[in-house]
Amino acid sequence: MITEKRHTSIWRTIRFRFALWTAGLLLVVLTGFSTFVYLNMAQSLKASIDDTLQLSAAQAVAAIEVDNGRLDLPDSFIEQPENADLRTNGLTLRLLSPDGSVIATFGSAGDLPVPDYALDAAHDLRSAFATLSQPGQPGTRLYTTPIDNNNTLVGIIQVSQSMRRVQETLHRLLATLLVSIPFLIIIAGLGGYGLASRALAPIDAITRTANRISGEDLSMRLNLPATNDEVGRLAATFDRMLARLDEAFRRERRFTADASHELRTPLAAMQAILDVIREKRRTADEYEQALDDLSAEAARLRALAESLLLLARGDGQSIAHYEWVNLSTLLVDVIESLHLVAAGKHLDMTCTVPDGLVIWGEMDSLIRLFVNLVDNAIKYTEKGHIEISAQVQPDAMVKVDIADTGVGIPAQDLPHIFERFYRVEKSRTSQGAGLGLAIVQEIVQAHAGKIDIVSTPEEGTTVSVWLPLDHNVFINRRI
């Protein structure tokens, strides 16, 4: 057997795609999270500066007095402790007249331009924030608030602070994020690849086992440790599937061997009859006897071929023509057709079947089913009686019993009674090929039913067949 090995590129493996998806998902999550952190940090730092500017401006306004509409600055205004703290915090304080000219200034950024919109806001007695930018210099945050007397603008306070520290902090944060995100993505990708490799190891085992399995040997199993995850259940299912296939192959090989043997027997008998009759000239009676023997063997061969054809086609599983069948009438007709056979052996045969039993099925198959069962009951009963009865069950099923007082079936043979070509030892001298009950089981299963046999040697056998009365039950049991 030639095995074709295909080497799959690592780029096409599930573990690589899993690692790639993991890294990609983490990239999206970290990018979104980092953007949120960066913008939130920028907003927080800006809000902190604005709060500081507002507080400093409020302290400055409180220190300035207004006398008759004019500003009255204390001599020690610049040296006041509140204003001295401005230098420590890197702030600049300016006092402006209503026209925007500088009256007093304190700090390193006293030469900042006075924005027109800040003056307009002050004339409207409103406070305003602004961010001033200079080429090559970090931006400056400027807060402007009016000094009013009876709703009249008498002066303007401006407090400003450089954004250098804010920008440095944001730059450090951005650098940290730009370095850490690729590192985390690489770690996640490698980790994802490792986890995928570990999780998919049973899949590789399944692949290797499947490559080693052939139609001649289905005995190999994965035998992986039992786990209750998806891969563990897949491995267990694969082992169960192999077991079913192994049993099916063994059963089919046995069937083929038994069928060959059964077909060879009548053919060998026919060949022997022909060889004997051709050894010398025979009388007319001897030729007639030979033809009768050949006819009997041909009939046996034909019956065997028909049975094999039914099983090969899966007759019980592929019945195409279903219809509503009156089971009560069918059972009565079967009993009447076999009544003379039973009477020939002096057997009493009774039938207790209620009227109106209608099931969904195929007429010819059902006739074959019950004719086979009743004929078996007659064949293996030498004295006594045979009773056929039917009862409706609570689960919308009808139970048909065929009970006899015949030789019975040994307990060790009951588990194998439905196997193809299996025959109880005492019955091996009969003309049957051991296919009748196999066909019966196929038909019962095709009609969504079940069959059971209870037997006691030398006392009798009861065969019970359950068939659905309701069409919905039939459909549900067939699924």
Distance separating alpha carbons of residues 158 and 56, to the nearest angstrom: 10
CA atoms in the 13 A half-sphere facing the CB of 272: 8
Q: Interhelix angle for 284-312 vs 230-277, to 10°? A: 170
What confidence category does residue 84 fall into, taking pLDDT thresholds of 50, 70 and 90?
low
pLDDT at 80 over 60: no
> What average pLDDT score do residues 322-340 get?
91
| Cβ(379)–Cβ(342) below 8 Å | no
Beta bridge partners of 246: none
**What is the distance of C-alpha 322 from the center of its chain?**
34
What residue ranges in 80-127 does DSSP mark as E strands? 91-96, 102-106
Question: Measured between alpha carbons, how far is 117 from 120 in angstroms, rounded to an integer?
Answer: 5
Side-chain-side CA neighbours of residue 41 (13 Å)? 17
SS (H, E, C) 44-94: HHHHHHHHHHHHHHHHHHHHCEEECCEEECCCCCCCCHHHHHHHHCCEEEE
Domains and CATH numbers, the chain: 25-171 (3.30.450.20), 230-312 (1.10.287.130), 323-478 (3.30.565.10)
Residues 221-275 have pLDDT tens digits of 777 766 777 777 777 887 888 888 887 777 777 667 666 766 776 787 788 888 8
- Mean pLDDT for all residues in the chain: 81
Whether 302 shows a pLDDT value over 90: the answer reads: no
What pLDDT does 5 receive? 45
Residue 403: HSE in the Cβ half-sphere, 13 Å Cα cutoff:
12
Measuring CA to CA, how many Å separate 66 from each of 79, 148, 153? Answer: 20, 9, 11
Closest CA to 181 of 29, 346, 379: 29
Q: Is 147 exposed, middle or buried (0-12, 13-18, 19+ CB in 10 A)?
A: buried
Which spans in 102-229 are helix H?
116-123, 164-199, 201-212
Q: Is the pLDDT of residue 142 over 70?
A: yes
Location of structure tokens 């304190």: 106
Average pLDDT over residues 104-119: 78
| CA–CA distances in Å: residue 196 to residues 30, 77, 199, 211, 356 | 22, 72, 5, 22, 63
Residue predicted with more confidence, 9 or 208 = 208
Any idea what DSSP says for residue 226?
A: P
Q: What is the mean pLDDT of residues 34-40?
A: 93
Answer yes or no: are the C-beta atoms of 454 and 461 closer than 8 Å: yes
Determine the Cα–Cα distance for residues 190 and 187; give it in Å rounded to an integer: 5
- Is 161 within 8 Å of 48 (Cβ atoms)? no
Q: What is the pLDDT of residue 116?
A: 84
DSSP string, 279-296: SS---HHHHHHHHHHHHH
Res. 108: pLDDT tops 60: yes
Express each pLDDT in 268-300 by its tens digit.
778 888 888 888 888 888 888 888 888 887 877
Angle separating helix axes 14-63 and 164-199, nearest 10 degrees: 160
Written as six digits, the tokens of 322 are 């279903």
pLDDT of residue 315: 44
> Which residue has better confidence, 467 or 309?
467
Task: Give yes or no for a contact between 328 and 353, defined as CB atoms under 8 angstroms apart.
Answer: yes
**Which DSSP category does 317 fall into?**
T
Residue 182 has which token pair? Answer: 């690729």
SS3 content of the chain, % helix, strand, coil (to 5): 55, 20, 30
What tokens appear for 351 in the block?
Answer: 């039938």
Q: Residues 81-91: what's their mean pLDDT? A: 62
Whole-number Å distance between alpha carbons of 118 and 100:
10
Least Cα distance to 389 among 347, 450, 337, 331 occurs for 331
Structure tokens belonging to residue 120: 């307009």
Of 196-200, 213-217, 239-243, 316-320, the range with the lowest mean pLDDT is 316-320
83 band by pLDDT with thresholds 50, 70 and 90: low
- Identify the three-state secondary structure at position 314: coil
Beta bridge partners of 351: 388
Identify the pLDDT of residue 98.
Answer: 86
pLDDT classification of 387: cutoffs 50, 70, 90: very high
Residue 107 in contact with residue 91, Cβ under 8 Å? Answer: yes
pLDDT at 196 over 90: no
Asked whether the beta carbons of 57 and 156 are under 8 A apart, the reply is no
Tokens of 205: 């085992």
Name the CA radius of gyration of the chain, rounded.
50
Q: Tens digits of per-residue pLDDT, 401-427?
A: 999 999 988 888 888 888 766 666 544
Q: Does residue 429 have a pLDDT over 80? A: no
Alpha helices in 313-398 (DSSP H): 327-344, 363-379
Are 110 and 139 in contact, with CB atoms under 8 Å apart?
no
Give the 3-state secondary structure of residue 254.
Answer: helix
Measured between alpha carbons, how far is 391 from 49 in angstroms, rounded to an integer? 93
